Structures are given as C-alpha cells and as structure tokens.
Amino acid sequence: MSDWTSLWYVWLILLTVFLLLLCGITASCIKFCCRKKRPPVETFSRHPYDLTVTAIDSDSTAHSTVT
C-alpha cells in the first residue's frame, strides 16, 4: 500500500471538500447575523386596491353582440 503523502489527489479532494464546507458554514453565519440586525420586512401592504366589476346580464346588447 502506498504512503499517504504520495497520494496527492486524496489530499486535494479532502482540501476541496473542507474548503467548500468552510465556505458554506461562513455564508450561513453571515446570513444569520444579517437577518438578526435587519428590521422585519412587511409582507402585506396596507394600501387597499380599487376593484371595478362590470356585470353583463343576458339582456345586455354587449352580450348579444358577442354571442
């Protein structure tokens, strides 16, 4: 069996996995810290919207023209 120091590709894979894990943990910590400091975002606006409804009955000329 080969010596562990001669298997450079194993060390490279382990180093890559370790760096990815470290970056993920760091990003999660930064995201968590920024979320605590930021004021809460309002999800629903308090402004009501105007809605216009136009009813068309069967006796309407617009309805008979369309059909």
Q: The whole model's pTM is what?
A: 0.45
Whether residue 56 contacts residue 63, with contact meaning beta carbons closer than 8 Å, is answered with yes
pLDDT, tens digit, for every residue of 6-62? 788 888 999 999 999 999 999 999 988 887 666 666 666 666 667 777 776 666 565
Who's near 63: CB < 8 A, 6+ residues apart? 56, 57
Residue 12 is predicted with a pLDDT of 93
